[in-house]
Amino acid sequence: MKNTGNPGSAAPKIIPRPDHNVSRNEISSAALKVLYRLHKAGYQSFLVGGGVRDAMLDLHPKDFDIATDATPEEVRSLFNNCRLIGRRFRLAHIRYGREIIEVATFRASANHEDDDEAHDREGRIVRDNVYGTIDEDVWRRDFTCNALYYNIADFSIWDYVGGFEDVQNKRLVLIGDAEQRLREDPVRMLRAVRFAGKLGFTIDDTVVKAMQGQTGLLANVPAARLFDEFLKLFQSGFAAPTFELLREHALFGELFPATEQELREDEKFLEFVRAALQNSDKRVADGKSVTPMFLLGVFMWLPVRKLAEIRRAEEKMSESQSLNLASYEIVAQQQRRISIPKRFTVPMREMLSLQPRFTTVRGKRAMNLLEHRRFRAAYDFMLLQSEVGLADPALAKFWTDVQKQSPDERAKSFELHSTPGGKRRPRRRRRRKSSGAS
C-alpha cells in the first residue's frame, strides 16, 4: 500500500542531497534568494510543487512555489518587493523584475469529508484558510509528485506521500482517496491530464477510475477559473498530447461541448484541430508567441460555419456577415463553460469572418485584405485549412506569394491596371440594384 492515507499519519522520508538530482542550478536565482532569506531569518523554507518535480526531471522549471512556516505578514516584513494577495488565503508575491515568486504559509488541509463546513453539497472545498504545519500542508496538495518539499537548509527532499518514487516511475497518483479529492476540486481532473500531457506520466488507475462518471462536476467550476486552466492546458507547448488525453478521458466535451460534437462526426475537422495544436506547440518550442484566440477560433470553426449556413438560409446576408453573426452566438454559448475575455473573442470573430475574403483575388478590395489588422491571423488560419484540404492550396499559394511582392507586382497579381499618366480610368457606373435590400 502507498502511504497516501491519512493526514498527519507519518513522518517524512528524507532524501539527502547525494541521493537525488535536484540541483540549485535548476532553481532561479530569485527563488534561491527568497529561500535563503527566509531560512536565514529562522523560518522553515522549502521549494515545493512543480519546481521540485520538474527539476527532478531535468525540465528546467520556470515557475517556483515556496512554502514556509512564516506568516504572510512575516514574509512581507523580510522583503520590500513583496505584495500580499488573496483574501481567503493570503499569499506573498515577491517580485524580481518579471519573475514573481509565490510564497505560501503552510496550510492545514480541509480534506475531511465529514467536516461539513469546509465542503459544499457536491463535496467541493469552500474553506481552506487555516495555517498549519508542513505535515498538514502536504495533505491538501493534489498529486504525490507535486508534494515534494526541497529544504534549503540542507538541500534534502522531504517526502510524506511516496512522491519521489512516483516521479521516478512517472506516475500521477492523487494523495488520499481519489474520488473524494476530485469531488473537492474537479479541476484536478484537468490537472491530471495536463501533467500527463506535459510530463508523459501515466495517470494511475485509481485516478482514471475516479474520473469516470465525475467529469460532469466540471460544470460547477466557475467559468473564469476554467479559462485560466484552458490557457495552461493549451498554451504550454503540449497542447497536442493534452488534447488527445482530454478526449480519451471524456473531459474535452465538458469544456467545449459544441466542438466535441463536431469532432465525433467530422474526421476532417479533427484533422484540422490536430494540425492547429501541433502548429501551436511548435511555435511555443520555437519561442514564438501564441494567442489563445487562434485555437479558440479553430475549436469554434465548424460549429460557427454550420450555424452561419443556417442563418444565411433564414435571412439575406453576406457570407462574412453570417460568420460574424454565428461566431457571436457560438461564443455566447461557449461562455457558459469557459469565460473568454472580449480581447480574445473580438479578434477571433474578425479572423473567422475574414475567411471568405481569401477566395477573391482580384481588385482593390481583395488587395486591401493584406492591410487588414487581422490579416496575419486570418492568413495563418486559412493556410492551416489548406494543409488539411479544407481550403484550396492554389489560393493559399497566391496569398503567400503576394505578401512577398513589390507594390507593382502586387497590382498585377490583383489585376489592378494602372493607366499611363496616373489618370484614373473612367469608372463604369454600376447598375443600382432594384431590390430594397441594403
* Interaction site with ligand ATP (CB under 6 A): 49-50, 63, 65, 141-142, 146-147, 185, 187-188, 232
CB closer to ligand ATP out of 185 and 350: 185
Helix, strand, coil % in the chain, rounded to nearest 5: 55, 10, 35
Q: Which residues touch 409 (CB under 8 Å, ≥6 apart)?
A: none
Rounded distance between C-alpha atoms, residue 301 and residue 247, angstroms: 18
CB closer to ligand ATP out of 194 and 357: 194
Q: Does 50 bind Mg ion (CB under 5 A)?
A: yes
CB closer to ligand ATP out of 10 and 388: 10
Rounded distance between C-alpha atoms, residue 166 and residue 131, angstroms: 27
Q: Residue 187 binds which entry of ligand ATP, Mg ion, none, with Cβ cut-offs from 5 to 8 Å by kind?
A: ligand ATP
Per DSSP, the residues of 218-256 read GGGS-HHHHHHHHHHHHSSS-HHHHHHHHHHTT-HHHH-
For Mg ion (CB under 5 A), the number of binding residues is 4
Q: List active site positions.
A: 63, 65, 142
Q: Which residue type does 352 have?
A: L
Smallest distance from the beta carbon of 163 to Mg ion, in angstroms?
15
Q: Residue 185 binds which entry of Mg ion, ligand ATP, none, with Cβ cut-offs from 5 to 8 Å by kind?
A: ligand ATP
Q: Residue 69 binds which entry of Mg ion, ligand ATP, none, with Cβ cut-offs from 5 to 8 Å by kind?
A: none
Q: Does 99 bind Mg ion (CB under 5 A)?
A: no
Rounded distance between C-alpha atoms, residue 138 and residue 148, angstroms: 8
- What SS3 state is found at 324? helix
Smallest distance from the beta carbon of 185 to ligand ATP, in angstroms?
5
Phi, psi (deg, nearest 5) at residue 23 = -100, 150
| Chain centre distance of CA 410 | 39
CB closer to ligand ATP out of 181 and 305: 181
Beta strand pairing status for 82-85 and 91-96?
A: antiparallel
Smallest distance from the beta carbon of 28 to Mg ion, in angstroms?
12
Smallest distance from the beta carbon of 98 to Mg ion, in angstroms?
16
CB closer to Mg ion out of 49 and 162: 49
CB closer to Mg ion out of 50 and 292: 50
Smallest distance from the beta carbon of 148 to ligand ATP, in angstroms?
9
Are 105 and 130 spatial neighbours (Cβ–Cβ below 8 Å)? no
Are 138 and 148 spatial neighbours (Cβ–Cβ below 8 Å)? no
Rounded distance between C-alpha atoms, residue 33 and residue 182, angstroms: 35
With CB under 5 A as the contact rule, the residue among 63, 128, 309, 392 that binds Mg ion is 63
Q: Does 61 bind Mg ion (CB under 5 A)?
A: no
Q: Does 102 bind Mg ion (CB under 5 A)?
A: no
Q: Residue 141 binds which entry of Mg ion, ligand ATP, none, with Cβ cut-offs from 5 to 8 Å by kind?
A: ligand ATP
Q: Residue 374 binds which entry of ligand ATP, Mg ion, none, with Cβ cut-offs from 5 to 8 Å by kind?
A: none
Smallest distance from the beta carbon of 102 to ligand ATP, in angstroms?
8
Q: Which residues touch 9 (CB under 8 Å, ≥6 apart)?
A: 3
Minimal CB distance residue for ligand ATP: 50
Rounded distance between C-alpha atoms, residue 367 and residue 361, angstroms: 7
Q: Residue 142 binds which entry of Mg ion, ligand ATP, none, with Cβ cut-offs from 5 to 8 Å by kind?
A: ligand ATP
| Chain centre distance of CA 329 | 23
What does the chain come to in residues? 438
Residues that bind Mg ion (CB under 5 A): 49-50, 63, 65
